[in-house]
Amino acid sequence: MAVFKFAVGLLALLLVSAWAEEVEVRQFHSITHATCLLLHRFMTDEIVEDTNAELSVSELLERANRDRTPDFDEPELMGDIAINSPDERNADPCTSRGCMWGKYNDGKVYVPYVIANHYSSRELSIIQRGLDSFSSMSCIRFKRRSNERDYLSIESRNGCYSYVGRTGNAQTVSLSRSGCLYHNTVQHELLHALGFNHEQTRNDRDNYIRVVWENIITDMKHNFNKINTLNQGTSYDYNSVMQYHKYAFSKNNRPTMVPIPNSNVEIGKATQMSQNDVNRLNRLYKCLDCLGMGCPPKTHSVFFLSEQKLAGIDQDNSQAA
């Protein structure tokens, strides 16, 4: 009897052990499967970026360009705007030349580009997403360069930067692999290349923000110089992807910009182009037949320009937006 009880107990112990091993194997398989699935999503670009939701576009740019050591062939920067000489710090680099990209007979604006081959497939997908976002809400079409003379050369140089508007020949748009590959930073730099300046440099900005000069790092004050911008009939936009955050270039952790009249309004928190950004883009390039959110119904003429008025705007190629 004792032998029988021992045998039954041993059998029960073996069954429990086998069941536990099976559960452990299933759990291990489940964990391994989840890990492989996550890895697969990264490898196939289903997961394309760390959104860094806590950082605004200007914080990302400021961080990426901090302590930047440029190569000998790289331009001087005004924030993240590339300039050819210090003289351009006090003026819109577009004012003395035509800086817009030309429109074709089909009403589209084709901007040729090349992308350097040092990006991974994951990084390329972030850049491509930014390029493609313009076609859904404007007449801008970024296209792979064939033999065009003027084009954007997207490269991972030292920091995030772009020239303002069309400069002629190859012009660098730097999207460094170290800190620049986010959807909002890609859109931000491409808007520069299309002719747009920072929101806080608008000629009417003093009606909407108060610049606190004493809080700004001395050699960064040029980032707050006003420019004779066109504004395209739109109001100041605290949520523009071109608006810097309120502590930008602060030397003492105090605000460098304060919204007025309500100082509690958040500024510079955009994660992508705002509606105003899209409207300005469409007005600057006269995108009369575009589709998507950038082309509002004609009935909203109180806020949006009608096609007739839009067509009548003098498209002055000597100034940026």
Burial 299-308 (b: 16+ CB within 10 A, else e): eeeeebbeee
75 band by pLDDT with thresholds 50, 70 and 90: confident
pLDDT (average), residues 256-276? 95
Give mean pLDDT, residues 25-36: 42
Catalytic residue, candidates 62, 123, 189, 199? 189
**91 confidence band (pLDDT: 50, 70, 90):** low
Q: What is the pLDDT of residue 154?
A: 99
Pairing of strands 81-83, 76-78: antiparallel
Give the annotated binding-site residues for Zn(2+).
188, 192, 198
Q: pLDDT band at 261, cuts 50/70/90? A: very high
pTM for this structure?
0.75
User: So what's the pLDDT on residue 7?
Assistant: 52
How would residue 315 be classed by pLDDT, with cut points 50, 70 and 90?
very low
Q: Are 247 and 289 spatial neighbours (Cβ–Cβ below 8 Å)?
A: no
> Position 271: which residue type?
T
- What is the arithmetic mean of pLDDT over 124-129? 98
Is the distance from CB of 82 to CB of 76 less than 8 angstroms? yes
Distance CA 159, CA 173 (A): 10
Write the DSSP symbol of residue 260: S
Q: Is 114 helix (H, G, I), strand (E, B) or coil?
A: strand
From the list 220, 190, 238, the residue with the least C-alpha distance to 62 is 220
Residue 251 has pLDDT above 90, yes or no: yes
* Of the candidate ranges 17-26, 71-80, 266-275, the one whose mean pLDDT is the lowest: 17-26
- Which whole number is the average pLDDT over 128-148? 97
Asked if pLDDT for residue 5 goes beyond 80, the answer is: no
CATH of domain 56-321: 3.40.390.10
pLDDT score, position 272: 92
pLDDT score of 317 more than 60: no
Active site residue 189: yes
Query: Is 93 a residue whose pLDDT tops 50?
Result: yes
CA–CA distance, 188 with 226 (Å, rounded to integer): 19
Under the banding of pLDDT at 50, 70 and 90, the label for residue 184 is very high
